[in-house]
Amino acid sequence: MSSGSCAITREKTPEGLLLRLQGTMDLGNAEALLAELTAFIKSGEKLSLDLGEITYIDGQGVALLIELKARCAARKSGFEIVRQSEVAKKMMGLINLEPLVEPLPSYRRQPGFFEQIGSATLDIVKDLKEIVRFVGDCSIMIWEAIFAPSKIRWRAVFTTLESTGVEALPIVCLIQFMIGVILTVLGKSVLGMYGATAFIPDLVAIALAQELGPLITAIVMAGRSGAAYAAEIGTMQVSEEIDALRSMGFEPGHFLVLPKMIAAGIAMPCLLIFGNIVALIGSVIMCLLTTDVTLPAFVREVYKAVSFHMFTEGLVKAFFFAVLIAGISCMRGMQVRGGAESVGRCTTSAVVSGIFITIMTDALFTILFHPPF
């Protein structure tokens, strides 16, 4: 619909300046026309526009007139439209333009550096409060469940156990296999320099049992199951299923979160055991292929290196990581408000929070199990 240009003729009047516009005011020339017209604004002088010869005007043409009027008001000069063509009358008569002349709202202003820091800090404090409250709620739920296990939705636990545990097994094993290979190659390059390749099994076994095993499994769980939990609960929030649960007298935490936490708490230590076995298989294959470590020697070294305490430490870590990942992912799901965009945002946040809380808890456990002082 856009057409040609707009010619401006100026005429001095006793009150100010009369501008006659002739042609079109549309998307094609609105910006240039606004700049041209703004140049005529002088403080205290009235700007009169004659739109009698306007042959076409669209939404952008009207917007430029509103902006021009606002600029006149800002410079304390008058503004009026003295004549309008039929097309201009039709377009401008669609709505009351007066309220639109108000200064644009302040949301256009970008917050300053310190404002952004302050706002981010407040968000973090709010988030931490929610996490603390959620952890409290979950602790009460778990405590109650211990004394009334029959009230737990065991069917939901087993269904989640299948998706969180059994279905995650291939990817966990594959990743752990590669971790085993990587550790062995690394071990060979470092320990080989000192002629200590015989200790590669010790290195791999200790690293897997204490640190890397639980950590890698937790990261896979946060990315896989954590995201799934958040998306599932978030979608339920959007489709009012959570409201429906509440309206039937169900506590969503007990109904949705607890089975997931229990399932994750059972699945993760099992995944860890399987994953570590597969990682050791990866390591032993690499050892046999690239070093002079034999299979019996490998088994003997692993058996010697990993104590029961180490093994238990890994399992305890895995259990807590899983419960925390499940809990925080469900919390992120519950925080969904609005639509699909919010589900996506909360799912991303669930994965990030899950990984963060895993590493933070790992640091705490490491200090607890191996006091540095």
**Residue ranges that bind other proteins, judged by CB under 8 A:** 159, 235-236, 239-241, 243-244, 246-250
Q: How far is the CB of 255 from other proteins (least distance, A)?
A: 9
> Which among 159, 174, 162 has a CA at the least distance from the CA of 220?
174
What burial class does residue 113 get, using C-beta atoms within 10 Å of its C-beta: 0-12 exposed, 13-18 middle, 19+ buried? exposed
CA 118 to chain centre: 20
CB nearer to other proteins: give 250 or 319: 250
| Strand, coil or helix: 31 | helix
Q: How far is the CB of 180 from other proteins (least distance, A)?
A: 36
CB nearer to other proteins: give 300 or 337: 337
Q: How far is the CB of 15 from other proteins (least distance, A)?
A: 37
CB nearer to other proteins: give 15 or 162: 162
CB nearer to other proteins: give 137 or 241: 241
What sections of the chain are H helices per DSSP? 30-38, 59-74, 86-92, 113-147, 154-164, 169-191, 200-206, 213-221, 227-238, 241-247, 252, 258-290, 295-305, 308-334, 340-369
- The single-letter DSSP state of residue 213 is H
User: Is the distance from CB of 264 to CB of 142 less than 8 angstroms?
Assistant: no
- Only one residue has tokens 């020697």, namely 297
Q: How far is the CB of 232 from other proteins (least distance, A)?
A: 8
User: Is the distance from CB of 53 to CB of 85 less than 8 angstroms?
Assistant: yes
Q: Is 21 left (phi over 0), alpha (psi -120 to 50) or beta?
A: beta
Q: How far is the CB of 323 from other proteins (least distance, A)?
A: 22
Q: How far is the CB of 249 from other proteins (least distance, A)?
A: 4
CB nearer to other proteins: give 14 or 249: 249
Q: How far is the CB of 332 from other proteins (least distance, A)?
A: 19
CB nearer to other proteins: give 187 or 252: 252
CA 23 to chain centre: 50
Amino acid, single-letter form, for residue 100: L
For 194, the token pair is 């000192």
- Only one residue has tokens 């778990």, namely 142
CB nearer to other proteins: give 53 or 241: 241
CB nearer to other proteins: give 236 or 350: 236
Count of C-beta atoms within a 10 Å radius of residue 139? 11
Amino acid, single-letter form, for residue 346: C
Q: How far is the CB of 239 from other proteins (least distance, A)?
A: 6
How far is 335 from 332, CA to CA, in rounded Å?
A: 5
